Amino acid sequence: MEKDIRLQKYLAMANVASRRASEQLILDARVSVNGEIVTELGTKVSETDEIKVDGVTVHLAKKKYYIMLNKPVGYVTTAKDQFLRPTVFDLVKDIDDRLFSVGRLDYDTEGLLILTNDGDFTQKISHPSHQTEKTYHAVISGSLSREDINNLKSGVRIEKGVVTAPAKVKVLESEKNASLVEIIIHEGRNRQVRRMFEAVGHRVLELKRVAIANVVIGNLPLGKWRHLREAEINNLLKGKNQQ
Least distance from ligand URA to the Cβ atom of residue 193, Å: 3
Residue in 164, 192, 235, 241 binding ligand URA, rule: CB under 6 A: 192
| 101 DSSP β-pair partners | 115
| Burial environment of residue 40 by CB neighbours within 10 A (0 to 12, 13 to 18, 19 or more) | exposed
213 binds ligand URA (CB under 6 A): no
Helices and strands (DSSP H and E) totals, the chain = 6, 17
213 φψ region: left (φ > 0), alpha (ψ -120 to 50), beta (else): left
- Options 81-89, 156-164, 192-200, 227-235: segment touching ligand URA (CB under 6 A): 192-200
Least distance from ligand URA to the Cβ atom of residue 110, Å: 9
Residue in 31, 51, 88, 105 binding ligand URA, rule: CB under 6 A: 105
106 binds ligand URA (CB under 6 A): yes
The per-residue DSSP string of 156-176 comes to: -EEETTEEPPP-EEEEEEE-S
Question: Residue 67, Cβ neighbours under 10 Å: how many?
Answer: 18
Query: Rounded to the nearest 10 degrees, how much is the dihedral formed by the CA atoms of 153, 195, 88, 211?
Result: -10
CB 118 within 8 A of CB 177: no
168 binds ligand URA (CB under 6 A): no
| Closer residue to ligand URA, CB minimum distance, 31 or 76 | 76
Least distance from ligand URA to the Cβ atom of residue 143, Å: 20
CA quadruple 85, 89, 217, 210: dihedral positive or negative? positive
109 binds ligand URA (CB under 6 A): yes
Least distance from ligand URA to the Cβ atom of residue 109, Å: 3
Residue in 193, 199, 213, 217 binding ligand URA, rule: CB under 6 A: 193
CB 114 within 8 A of CB 102: yes
Among candidate residues 96, 106, 118, 148, the one labeled active-site is: 106
198 binds ligand URA (CB under 6 A): no
108 is a catalytic site residue? no
88 binds ligand URA (CB under 6 A): no
Give the catalytic positions in this structure.
106
Binding site residues, ligand URA, CB under 6 A = 105-106, 109, 191-194, 207
